[in-house]
Amino acid sequence: MTHKLSDKQYVFAKFMLERIGFSDPKKIDSYINKLESIYGKYLYHLRPGKYGYYKHHYYSNSECIEQLLKEMEIKKEPAEIKNLDCNINRSKISATDLSNFQFCPASYSLSKSFEIEFPTNEDERLAGIDLHEKLRLIDQPVPEYYEDYQYFSPKVMPNESIDKIRSCELIYSGHSDDYTTFKNEEKKYVGQPDYIFKDPNGDHFIVEEKYRYLNPGKFSDFNEKEYKKYLNKIKYKFHKNHIVQIKSYIDYIKEYNIEYGVLIYWFYKLSENYNRDIYPYVHDVSIKVIYNNEFEILLNRTHNKLLDFISNQRMRFPTPTNPNKCAACVVNKYCSHKTDNYNELKLPYDKNDIQLKYIPFPDELKSDTNE
Ligand code: SF4
């Protein structure tokens, strides 16, 4: 594994992860590595030079440490975590619940139990939400005062497949103000897809857009080749939880006979304009079509397991967890199951599982604190 943390940063990060409950050195290393790929970034400041000011770039990964410190702070006082007042047994299962549960049952339990005040990747997540609200597939292509090229790389737009979708008849838009939610009483299900269209053959189809942030920090604009290699590796890996979400729309929405669904991944990074305002820049796109005769078993299995979990309020938690997935998970600061120390998961999430272990402070760092 390669990382750019200083020796002391690494020792401190490792110490914090051990306090959080990790014990496997390989897992700790992978977790730190992934944290760095999320939070490590190239920044710059302006320096005076012979011909005026020039940009001096430097690399910073201090946010990795800050994120772990935040997790420690949360886990020191679990009683302070705000509970959500939600009667899970009486409420319906949403498409998002199915997606969360498929992604990870602990993520579902945590997001149903607590107000997640400190989600991972908050800035990028908000930028993604902003994109979802503003850069809609159908209308309002870019926010006011911006041009297309500022938001989309020329290789992303125009796009033949996207244009084909846009030329179909729009039947429903989940972004519209009326926020109609589709209900299926038999399945005790609610769902709100991004769009329903009718194609020229008269077939109805769903479209779901996902905005995926790729941090150019670690790979950096200075290493475009490595960045592209990584993008190509993940571009056509469509997540099972997104497939479950679309499949639930296809199968459970009864108002229309949905023949297929289209999953669109927009890949974006955060760019900076001359005023140093940060804005999202979409640099790649990938598309997957899911037909109504596919992924039946995946949806049924996910739905049944979720129903069991809700009725029993406990389940066996599958281990080992994947440190790459956990380090990027939105609710990871609240989660104790990522350490592999718990075989059982409860609903609501058991605050007794949220605790820190005693680990002696590393000798290597003691002189720093005594200074
Ligand atoms: S941190 Fe890992 S184990 Fe915990 S909820 Fe997220 S993905 Fe699941």
Q: Which domains does the chain have, with CATH numbers?
A: 77-102+115-302 (3.90.320)
What percent of the chain has a predicted confidence (pLDDT) above 70?
A: 78
CA 338 to ligand 1 center in whole angstroms: 5
pLDDT bin (cut points 50, 70, 90) of residue 246 is very high
Say if residue 82's pLDDT is above 60: yes
Nearest CA to ligand 1 atom 5: 107
CA 321 to ligand 1 center in whole angstroms: 7
pLDDT bin (cut points 50, 70, 90) of residue 219 is very low
pLDDT bin (cut points 50, 70, 90) of residue 232 is confident
Mutate to test the pocket of ligand 1, among 107, 315, 343 (most ligand atoms within 8 A of CB): 107
Tracing tokens 């990870």 back to the chain, one arrives at 104
**Is the Cβ atom of 347 under 6 angstroms away from ligand 1?**
no
CA 173 to ligand 1 center in whole angstroms: 31
What percent of the chain has a predicted confidence (pLDDT) above 90?
A: 54
pLDDT bin (cut points 50, 70, 90) of residue 226 is confident
Q: Tell me the C-alpha to C-alpha distance, in Å, between residue 343 and each of 25, 187, 337.
A: 20, 29, 8
pLDDT bin (cut points 50, 70, 90) of residue 229 is confident
Q: Report the mean per-residue pLDDT for the chain.
A: 84
pLDDT in tens, 283-342: 888 999 999 999 999 999 999 999 999 999 999 999 999 999 999 899 999 999 999 999
Nearest CA to ligand 1 atom 7: 326
Mutate to test the pocket of ligand 1, among 22, 68, 241, 326 (most ligand atoms within 8 A of CB): 326
Say if residue 175's pLDDT is above 90: no
Q: Which of 61-75, 180-194, 222-236 has the lowest mean pLDDT?
A: 222-236
Cis amide leading into 200 (omega within 30):
no
CA 332 to ligand 1 center in whole angstroms: 6
Q: How many residues does the chain have?
A: 371
Q: Which of 249-258, 280-289, 330-339, 357-366 has the lowest mean pLDDT?
A: 280-289
Q: Tell me the C-alpha to C-alpha distance, in Å, between residue 91 and each of 58, 101, 115, 208, 310.
A: 50, 15, 17, 24, 10
pLDDT bin (cut points 50, 70, 90) of residue 371 is very low
Alpha-carbon dihedral 318, 20, 37, 217, rounded to 10 degrees:
150
Whether residue 251 contacts residue 120, with contact meaning beta carbons closer than 8 Å, is answered with no
Say if residue 279's pLDDT is above 90: no
Say if residue 116's pLDDT is above 70: yes
State the pLDDT at residue 345: 97
**Is the Cβ atom of 120 under 6 angstroms away from ligand 1?**
no
Whether residue 218 contacts residue 40, with contact meaning beta carbons closer than 8 Å, is answered with yes
State the pLDDT at residue 130: 61
**Is the Cβ atom of 20 under 6 angstroms away from ligand 1?**
no
Ligand 1, residue 327: give the atom nearest the CA.
1
CA 155 to ligand 1 center in whole angstroms: 35
Mutate to test the pocket of ligand 1, among 316, 325, 354 (most ligand atoms within 8 A of CB): 325
pLDDT bin (cut points 50, 70, 90) of residue 249 is very high
Distance (Å, rounded) from C-alpha 339 to C-alpha 321?
A: 8
Distance (Å, rounded) from C-alpha 46 to C-alpha 61?
A: 20
**Is the Cβ atom of 112 under 6 angstroms away from ligand 1?**
no
Q: Which of 79-88, 156-165, 219-228, 295-304 has the lowest mean pLDDT?
A: 219-228
Say if residue 248's pLDDT is above 70: yes
State the pLDDT at residue 324: 92
Classify burial at 153, counting beta carbons within 10 Å of its beta carbon; exposed 0-12, middle 13-18, buried 19 or more: middle
pLDDT bin (cut points 50, 70, 90) of residue 275 is low
State the pLDDT at residue 333: 96
pLDDT in tens, 28-77: 999 999 888 888 776 666 677 777 776 666 667 788 899 999 999 999 99
